[in-house]
Amino acid sequence: MSLEKQSLTTMQQSHTSIFKKHKKLFLSLFASLLLVSAVVAIVAGVNSNKNNDDNSSHTILKTACSTTRYPEYCVSALTSVPGATANLATQKDVIEASLNLTTLAVEKNYFAVKKLIAKTKNLTKREKCALHDCLETIDETLDELHEAIEDLKEYPLKKTLVQHADDLKTLMSSAITNQETCLDGFSHDSADKVVRDALLAGQIHVEKMCSNALAMITNLTDTDIAMEKMKMAKTTGIRKLKEEMENDEIRWPEWLSAGDRRLLQSSSVTPNVVVAADGSGNFKTVSAAVAAAPSKSTSRYVIRIKAGVYRENVDVPKSKTNIMFLGDGRKNTIITASRNVVDGSTTFNSATVAAVGQGFLARGVTFQNTAGPSKHQAVALRVGADLSAFYDCDMLAYQDTLYVHSNRQFYINCLIAGTVDFIFGNAAAVLQDCDIHARRPNSGQKNMLTAQGRTDPNQNTGIVIQKCRIGATSDLRPVQSSFPTYLGRPWKEYSRTVVMQSAISDVIVPAGWHEWTGTFALNTLYYGEYQNSGAGAGTSRRVTWKGFKVITSATEAGGFTPGNFIAGGSWLRGTTFPFSLGL
C-alpha cells in the first residue's frame, strides 16, 4: 500500500470514528434543523394567511365604504381603531363594525355635554336648555344604534327584506337628525356659537359615521331587494314583492297583541284612565296620567282626556310606548301652553306636547301654542314617535306649529294652522285629508307651509301632503295679498316635500316655493307636485329650480303614498283611524 493510500485510509477511519462517536449529536442537530425549518415554514404560512386575511378584510372594507358619501372617512374611522377591521368577511360585517364604533363616539359626546353643563359658567337659559336637548337626542341616538345593530344581526331572516330595509333606514335617518337637532339648539344668538363650537366636532363625526352606515345599509338592502325581484320575475313572471302585492290589503302590525286587536276593532275604545280638570277622573292633568302609565307597554294604553282646557306642557318620553290620547273632540279637549324662543326656550323644547314614545296615537285633541307671531319659534306639537298617528286633531300656533321631528308619522283629517315654516322637521310624515291653513303673520312676514329638514340623500324622510285642502284662516283671507304664502322652503340641503291630489286655494302665490337663502339647496332639494286642483295649483309659473318638478308618473307619485313612504300597510290599521294606502 502506498503512502498516499495509507494516509487516505487513516483519514477515512478517523472520520468514521468521529461520526460513530458523535452519531447522537449529529442526529440531534439534524432533527433540530428540521424542526427549525418546519417552524419557519409554519410561521411564514401563518403570516401569509394573516396577510391574505388582512388584505381580504381591507378590500371588503374599501368596497363597502365606496358606496358612502364620505368613503375615505369611512375607511380611516375603522382602520384607526386596533382590531376594528379584523375578520371582515362581508359588507354586513363592515356595517356592524361601523355601528359599534359610532356607538362609542355617541357615548363620548354624551359625557362631553355633561361636562359642559357641569363646568361652563354663565350659561344662558336657552344654552342650558339646548344642552339638555342634546342629552335627550344623544340618548335617543344610542337606542337607535343599539336597535339597528340587533336588527342587522338578524338580517335578512327575521322580517321581509322590505321591512328590514325600511326599519334600518328609519333608525339611521333618525340618528342623523338627532345630531342636527342638538346643534340647531345653538343657532338663535351669536353667543350660542361658543357652546356650539365646543360640540361641533363630536356631533359632525357621529353624523358622518351615521351617514356612512345609512349609505351602506341602503346599498345592501336595495341590492338584495332588486335581486329578490329578479328571482321572482324568473319563477313567476311578476316583479313585485309580497309587500307590493299586498299594498292594497290592510294588515295588522306584528307587535299588536290579539287582545289589543279585539280592543281596536270594537266601535268604542275603553280608556285605562281618565283625565278631568274638575277632579272627576283619575287625574287632573295629562302629564300626571302619562307619568303613571306603564313603561315599555306592548298593549295600547288609552288616556281619556275629558273636555276642558289643560294649560300644561306634556312630555311623552321614549319609555312610554303605545300611549293613546283620546279626547272629547278637538273643539272641546285643548292642551295649551306658550313656551317660545324669544323667552328663552329652544325650538325643540318649546313644544306644548312632545310625543316620543313609539306607537303614540291621538284622536279628538287640540294641541296649541299661544305665544303668538312675535315670539318666533313656538311649537304646538313635536313628534319623534315612530309609527305615530293623529286623527281629527288640531295643531294651532304661528311659527313652527307642527314639528315632525323624526321617524314615521301619519295625520288624517286634522287641521294645521300657522305662519312661518309651520310644518317642519325631518320625519317621514304623510298628511292625508287634512286642512292646512295659513294665518295672518306679523307685518312684513311671508307664510311658509313647510320647511323640511333632510340633510342626507339616503334618508327616507320627507313631508307628503296628500288629498288635503290648502287655504287661509279667516284673519288672513281679507289681507292675503299683503302676505305672500308659499308651499315651502328648504331648511336643509336635501329638503323633500311633495304636494299631491290636493285642493290648493289662491292663497298660494304662482311661484309656489321660496328660497331659504340665496341658491342654497335649490339643486339638491326634491319638491314635487302631482294632480293638484284649485286656483293656486297651476304650475306654469312655478319656480324653475333644478330640484323642483311636476310629477307626471303615477309610479313616481305612488312612492309617496302611506303604503310605500311610511310602510303604512303594516301598522296603520292598528290605529283604528281611517286611511288610504295608495293614490
Give residue 247's pLDDT.
52
* Contact indicator for 211, 456 with CB cutoff of 8 Å: yes
All 3 cell numbers of residue 535? 286656483
Query: What does the DSSP 8-state code read for residue 499?
Result: E
Lowest mean pLDDT among 24-33, 138-147, 475-484: 24-33
Which of residues 396 and 3 earns the better pLDDT score? 396
Model confidence band, residue 188 (pLDDT cutoffs 50, 70, 90) = confident
Q: What is the secondary structure of 73-89 as a DSSP string? A: HHHHHHHTSTTTTTT--
CA distance 420 to 416: 12
> For 268-289, what is each residue's pLDDT tens digit?
689 999 999 999 999 999 999 9
> For 452-466, what is each residue's pLDDT tens digit?
999 999 999 999 999
Mean pLDDT of all residues in 483-511: 98
Element (H, E) at 418: strand 415-418
Give residue 471's pLDDT.
98
CA distance 379 to 367: 9
Mean pLDDT of the chain: 88
Q: What is the secondary structure of 539-570 as a DSSP string? A: -TTS---TTEEE---HHHHHTTSHHHHS-GGG
Q: With both helix axes pointing from N to C terminus, report the angle between 23-65 and 91-119 in degrees, rounded to the nearest 10.
A: 70
> For 198-224, what is each residue's pLDDT tens digit?
999 999 999 999 999 999 999 999 999
> For 438-453, what is each residue's pLDDT tens digit?
999 999 999 999 999 9
Q: What is the secondary structure of 121-168 as a DSSP string? A: -S--HHHHHHHHHHHHHHHHHHHHHHHHHHHHHHTTTSS-HHHHHHHH
Tell me the HSE value of 434 on the side-chain side, using a 13 A CA sphere: 26
Given a cut of 80, whether residue 431 has pLDDT beyond it is yes
Helices (runs of H) and strands (runs of E) counted in the chain? 12, 27
Give residue 50's pLDDT.
45
Model confidence band, residue 233 (pLDDT cutoffs 50, 70, 90) = confident
**Based on the number of CB atoms within 10 Å of its own CB, is 235 exposed (0-12), middle (13-18) or buried (19 or more)?**
exposed
- Nearest in space to 295 (alpha carbons), one of 316, 313, 276: 316
Give residue 237's pLDDT.
63
Q: CB atoms < 10 A from the CB of 53, how many?
A: 14
Given a cut of 50, whether residue 406 has pLDDT beyond it is yes
CA distance 189 to 196: 11
> For 548-577, what is each residue's pLDDT tens digit?
999 999 999 999 999 999 999 999 999 999
> For 344-353, what is each residue's pLDDT tens digit?
999 999 999 9
Query: What does the DSSP 8-state code read for residue 196?
Result: H
Given a cut of 60, whether residue 7 has pLDDT beyond it is no
Q: What percent of the chain has pLDDT over 70?
A: 85
* Contact indicator for 295, 318 with CB cutoff of 8 Å: no
- Nearest in space to 328 (alpha carbons), one of 312, 300, 308: 308
Alpha helices in 293-410 (DSSP H): none
The pTM of the full predicted model, rounded to 2 decimals, is: 0.87
Q: CB atoms < 10 A from the CB of 41, how many?
A: 10
Give residue 43's pLDDT.
41
* Contact indicator for 160, 220 with CB cutoff of 8 Å: no
Model confidence band, residue 37 (pLDDT cutoffs 50, 70, 90) = very low
All 3 cell numbers of residue 16? 468514521
Mean pLDDT of all residues in 430-441: 98
CA distance 434 to 279: 34
Cα separations in angstroms, 35 against 26, 38, 48, 396: 14, 5, 19, 85
Given a cut of 50, whether residue 23 has pLDDT beyond it is no
- Nearest in space to 216 (alpha carbons), one of 97, 92, 77, 100: 92
> For 289-344, what is each residue's pLDDT tens digit?
999 999 999 999 999 999 999 999 999 999 999 999 999 999 999 999 999 999 99
> For 72-105, what is each residue's pLDDT tens digit?
999 999 999 888 888 899 999 999 999 999 999 9
Query: What does the DSSP 8-state code read for residue 402?
Result: E
Sorted by sequence, the CB contacts under 8 Å of residue 52 that are 6+ apart come out as none
CA end-to-end span of the chain: 118
Mean pLDDT of all residues in 247-259: 45
Residues acting as catalytic residues: 400, 421
